[in-house]
Amino acid sequence: MAETKRARRTPLFPATSFEEAMALANAIQKHAAGQKVRRLTLFDNMGKSPDSGPSRQLIVNSNKYGLTKGSYASEYLELTPEGAIATGADAPPREKLAARFKLAIEGIAPFKALYDALKGNRLPAASVLEDAAKEHGVPAPDAKECVELFIVNAKFLGILRPIAGAERIIPLEQAMEGLPATESSGGGGGPAVAPTKPWSSERRAAGPSTGTDADGWNSICFYISPIGEPESEQRKHADLFLGSIVEPALEEFGLKVVRADRIGKPGMITAQIIEHVLKAKLVIADLSYHNPNVFYELCLRHVSRLPTVQIIRKSDKIPFDLDQFRTIPIDTSTIYAMVPNLQTYKAEIATQVRTVLQDPDSTDNPVTTYYPNLKVEF
């Protein structure tokens, strides 16, 4: 099985996407009006322990992107000039995009090299991008992660777009042309990450057994999805997402993707589903069609505080209770909208999977946000 939790081999690029690293800078804007602030005060306002592993990693990644200054041992944290513009509510849109590009792409050597090589061209196959990353000094074991983070950052900035049936990296200048020169484009980003309890194998080990041991559960990703009847629209949707997006995105992690209709064991199907929800190393939940069974199973996973990644059809509205938490939208409106973006969708899912497996406390959900000390054991 592929190793999913390992020490980083290279400091050439941050460990998370630029959007995720912005959480600290956004918090300084929100709680300190963009001014220098005591580290302890800031994290208290964010509802996070200032000395926890996730809090330290948040500071490290924010610093690597050049958004903030001050280490996890500093008394004060503050925005860099570019960080202030990148997250400022009143910054002109073009100026904000330029600042974000400088931090998310230009300031990270391998990302800048990939951008320079690709701008104006279509996005090549992942293997070609990985070779390019290795040519610019990224060690081979880290090349895939580097490429995926670059793709996620490029999409966030709007410089990766589907054009003429293919994903293309457009020059920064072209991306800026469609933005107003002076009007504000709003604030910096979403909510800060709330504290959660550590993920432990003990919390996954209890409960009824279908014969899968602890090591077996460590190799499983349970895919929660609307399934529907054979030949129904929902079944075709579930099969398409599973085969074309979810399974390819998880290849590097050595995880076997299991869906409820493919459990293949005798016994009560409901009991087996719940067991997979509570014991699988990872859950990917597809919120498309607002299927009630999906939300029931997702709730069980949330109270278990275990690694989860959420996806949804872009045409479906994210329910109110979940709309402030990370969910990857996938445009299925037409084949022409979906196919050119497949590589980006797989990279976004892989990036989120890597984050939650390496650090389960790095993501939050409604339970961990509003009841940070709640612990449910099975």
Same domain, 21 and 47: yes
User: What is the rounded (10 degree) CA torsion for 284, 286, 290, 296?
Assistant: -20
pLDDT (mean) for 78-102: 95
Please tell me the distance from the alpha carbon of residue 367 to that of residue 88, in angstroms, as a whole number.
29
Same domain, 225 and 307: yes
- Where in the chain does DSSP place strands (E)? 37-38, 68-69, 76-79, 160-163, 166-169, 220-224, 256-259, 282-286, 308-313, 328-330
pLDDT (mean) for 87-107: 95
Kindly state the DSSP code that residue 269 receives in the 8-state scheme.
Answer: H
Structural domain boundaries enclosing 291? 201-341
| Domain-embedded: residue 362 | no
Final residue before a domain boundary, out of 148, 177, 193: 193
Over the stretch 140-157, which tens digit does the pLDDT of each residue have?
999 999 999 999 999 999
Give the per-residue pLDDT at 204. 33
pLDDT (mean) for 264-284: 82
Number of H helices, E strands in the chain: 18, 10
The backbone region for 284, taken as left when phi is positive above 0, alpha when psi lies in -120 to 50, beta otherwise, is beta
Same domain, 119 and 209: no
Same domain, 227 and 131: no
Q: How many domains does the chain have?
A: 2
Q: Which residue has the higher pLDDT, 199 or 62?
A: 62
Q: Which of 341, 337, 174, 314 is nearest to 249 (CA)?
A: 341
Mean of all residue pLDDT scores within the chain? 85
pLDDT band, residue 208 (cuts 50/70/90): very low
Same domain, 178 and 95: yes
Please tell me the distance from the alpha carbon of residue 79 to that of residue 248, in angstroms, as a whole number.
38
For the chain, what percent of residues have pLDDT higher than 90?
61
| Domain-embedded: residue 364 | no
Over the stretch 310-357, which tens digit does the pLDDT of each residue have?
999 999 999 888 877 889 999 999 998 898 899 999 999 999 999 899
pLDDT band, residue 193 (cuts 50/70/90): very low
Q: Which residue has the higher pLDDT, 358 or 234?
A: 234
pLDDT band, residue 188 (cuts 50/70/90): low
| Domain-embedded: residue 239 | yes
Q: Which amino acid is at 180?
A: P
- Asked if residues 46 and 209 have their Cβ atoms less than 8 Å apart, the reply is no
Residue 46, H or E segment: helix 39-46
Same domain, 214 and 157: no
pLDDT (mean) for 214-243: 89
